[in-house]
Amino acid sequence: MTEHESTTTVLRKNKKVLIASLTGSAIEWFDYFLYGTAAALVFNKIFFPMVDPVIGLILSYLSFSLTFFIRPIGGVLFAHIGDRIGRKKTLVLTLSLMGGATVMIGLLPTYEMIGLWAPALLILMRIIQGMGIGGEWGGALLLAYEYAPEKRKGFFGSIPQAGVTIGMLMATFIVSLMTMFSEEDFLSWGWRIPFLLSSVLVLLGLWIRKDIDETPDFQKVKASGQVAKAPLRDTLKHHWREVLIAAGLKVVETAPFYIFSTFVVSYATSTLTYQKSQALEAVTLGAMVATIMIPLMGLLSDKIGRQRMYATSVFILGLFIVPWFMLLNTGTTWGIVLATVIAFGVLWAPVTAVLGTLCSEIFSANVRYTGITLGYQLGAALAGGTAPLIATGLLAKYDGDWVPVAWYLAVTVAISLIAIFCASRVKRTTLVQAQPERL
């Protein structure tokens, strides 16, 4: 790419790479939100009806949370393959597993049909899903990042990140359509439609990925004979600091996401006086704004610098924690919409837009897949699904007082500000080692 090539020209040249990267990420999050909804509304009734309804709901949610334990295993496994044989082959494998299992869930017989085999098969499909999902994020990100022209790394790295909100919006739209069915039709066959429709996305993703060459960075690693024989061992031995930094960078991206998109619904409807529809509509609007903002912020980061954008955005996000609660506590529709759009749509978007690129830049290409996957999974485990649980627990302990939750969010901000400071030092050290003749 020449220095004067426009963004439009760059997009035209690399549209298949970007679509391939975005598709996998969108399917991942579409599945996440879709399964969560189905677990709450359907699976307890048709896969776990043999027990008390409350126990059935708990078992259904346990099948949902199963991927949080399986994803790290899948991440390490497929990251190893990705650093050994290449990104492209690994991505075809992860998308096939992830998408295939999602479609199969839509075809599963119920407990009434085959008894205990039904929940057993559901759990098996969920395990396969989790394995595929664990390796998908790192591969989708590197497909974009390693194909990116030098002056467009931030923009390209932001594209798979937009899959989070796109998947969320697709699942929300599909679930809202499903509510049009009668309860009998919905439980009988209506719930299957979204799972089966995901096959369209999977086939599109596989078709696009089929025609893409291996990433330039991995081709260079292979040509130079520097392919890591044991990527996990090498990463833990030589890059453990970078893994911790990547995990730290992830903390403020994942905890506020679950607070602003999940916890806000229960807080607004249980502790405050909002209707559920008001909270869900505010989150949907915030997701729409974030979907537009993420690639724009990625593009801007190529001009002003990713570390500067990340640090500034995290700092402003920290400053907005108290106003966010104050706006929610107005009890008005405009208050919850403004709070959610600013926090989720405007301030969270630049953080997630540059996260993947920042993590990619601190690892060498021969262990990059393993490094970013370990950091991502560690950060997600520490601050991801636990965030709504911690926030809800703090509210319960302090009689609905939001101040402890605000302090919790402030801690995540502090952790990630320390991480970005360390990331800048690691990057400078890497540059010094790579170009000592300039010093």
For the segment 308-344, what is each residue's pLDDT rounded down to a tens digit? 999 999 999 999 999 999 999 999 999 999 999 999 9
Q: Any residues with CB less than 8 A from the CB of 408 and at least 6 apart, and which? A: 255, 390, 391, 394
Longest dimension (CA), the chain: 73
- Please report the pLDDT score of residue 418 as a whole number: 95
Q: CA neighbours within 13 Å on the CB side: how many for 266? A: 13
- Please report the pLDDT score of residue 7 as a whole number: 60
- Please report the pLDDT score of residue 11 as a whole number: 64
pLDDT at 274 over 60: yes
- Please report the pLDDT score of residue 436 as a whole number: 39
Asked if 355 and 161 count as a contact pair (C-beta separation under 8 A), the reply is yes
Return the higher-pLDDT residue of 340 and 396: 340
In this predicted structure, which of 56-65, 174-183, 260-269, 373-382 has the lowest mean pLDDT?
56-65
pLDDT at 16 over 70: yes
DSSP 399-425: TT-SHHHHHHHHHHHHHHHHHHHHHHH
Nearest to 336 by CA among 385, 391, 267: 267
Geometric angle at alpha carbon 48, from 46 and 49, rounded to 5°: 70
Q: Is 115 left (phi over 0), alpha (psi -120 to 50) or beta?
A: left
Task: Please name the helix (run of DSSP H) or strand (run of DSSP E) that holds residue 155, with its range, or none.
Answer: helix 153-161
Using only the alpha carbons of the chain, give its radius of gyration.
Answer: 22
Asked if 229 and 359 count as a contact pair (C-beta separation under 8 A), the reply is no
Return the higher-pLDDT residue of 384 and 432: 384
- Please report the pLDDT score of residue 5 as a whole number: 60
Q: How confident is the model at residue 6 (pLDDT cuts 50, 70, 90)?
A: low
For the segment 43-76, what is each residue's pLDDT rounded down to a tens digit? 888 888 877 777 777 777 777 777 777 888 888 8
